[in-house]
A and B are shown apart, each in its own frame.
Chain A
Amino acid sequence: MPSLQKIMYVEDEPDIQTIASIALENIGGFSVKTCSCGADALVQAPDFAPDLILLDVMMPDMDGPTTLQELRKIDSLISTPVVFITAKAQIHEIAQYKSQSGVLDVITKPFDPITLSDTIRTIWENYHANV
């Protein structure tokens, strides 16, 4: 199973960005790069080369699914695993997000920052156990 070290988190809300990155770095021991919008992610992702991208669904200008489409146009990010983060969603919406290639799962907001790292690690392990 590939190791999970570098996580890019694309999220427009600064409060959530801060608490999540502190939790992911300090509980999960991950190296985290946060981006405030899809356009920022498109610029930063090739250099950061994340193992996993956490992508907020509802963002102004470019939403999460559109950002994913654009990220997939970059050769080095064509198959980088993605986890969508969204407000409580309906089952059909979650199924729609998960049907996209390379999308491992969907995490719903609000999340508990203390358990976020474990949730992500479990998603990662389950995905790779089934590949």
Chain B
Amino acid sequence: MQMSDKEFLEQIEALKQSYAAHLPEKMKQLNSLEKILETDLANFEVLNELYQLAHKLAGSSASFGFASLSEKAYELEMFIKPIVKKNETLDKNSYEEYKSLLNNLKKSFFE
């Protein structure tokens, strides 16, 4: 049975709030991956995990009203994607841009 428009919009709103409530966990995940990469730049598994996380944030957050977060996550995802697809890791040359994109993403959590 279909719900009324009001019930439907209330449910969508509740889902958005629930998604928002879980964002701090995503931020913690980002922080912990960032921390590992700071001391172990050549860690492929962690970079791949960061890529997956950015991909998920890029694909889902705008559907819950977080457009800027989605954009910044997409920028980070697209930066990491070719590195991971070639089974490579971050290096000194790519580190600065990675760091800048990651910082932009973290800032967008508060926009």
User: Using a CB–CB distance below 8 Å, which chain A residues touch chain B?
Assistant: 13, 15-16, 18-20, 22-23, 25-27, 29, 58, 87-88, 109-114
Tell me which residues across on chain B come within 8 A of A16, comparing CB atoms. Answer: 59-60, 63
Main secondary structure of the interface of B (DSSP, over half): helix
Complex CA–CA separation, A107 to B90 (angstroms):
31
**Number of chain B interface residues as a range:** 20 to 34
Which of B12, B15, B70, B77 lies in contact with A110, CB distance below 8 A? B70
Task: Find out whether the CB atom of B8 lies under 8 angstroms from the CB atom of A22.
Answer: yes
Q: Chain A: which residue is nearest B77 at the CB level? A: A87
User: Which of B19, B55, B56, B63 gathers most chain A CB within 10 Å?
Assistant: B63
Q: Chain B: which residue is nearest A19 at the CB level? A: B15
Task: Find out whether the CB atom of A22 lies under 8 angstroms from the CB atom of B60.
Answer: no
Task: Find out whether the CB atom of A13 lies under 8 angstroms from the CB atom of B15.
Answer: no
Q: Chain A: which residue is nearest B67 at the CB level? A: A110
Task: Find out whether the CB atom of B63 lies under 8 angstroms from the CB atom of A87.
Answer: no
Known contacts A58-B55, A87-B58; decide if A112 and B63 are in contact (CB<8 Å).
Answer: yes
Known contacts A25-B2, A26-B2, A26-B3; decide if A109 and B60 are in contact (CB<8 Å).
Answer: yes
Closest 6 pairs (CB-CB, A-B):
A110-B62, A109-B59, A26-B8, A110-B63, A87-B59, A16-B60
Q: Does B98 contact A (CB under 8 A)?
A: no
Q: What distance in Å separates the Cβ of A65 from its nearest Cβ neighbour in chain B?
A: 15
Complex CA–CA separation, A26 to B19 (angstroms):
20
Q: What distance in Å separates the Cβ of B21 from its nearest Cβ neighbour in chain A?
A: 11
Q: Chain B: which residue is nearest A28 at the CB level? A: B2
Q: Does B11 contact A (CB under 8 A)?
A: yes
Q: Could you tell me which residues of chain B, from 59 to 74, have a CB within 8 Å of some CB in chain A?
A: 59-64, 70, 74
Q: A20-B63, A25-B2, A88-B58 are in contact. List 5 more A-B contacts (CB 8 A).
A: A22-B8, A22-B11, A26-B2, A26-B3, A87-B77
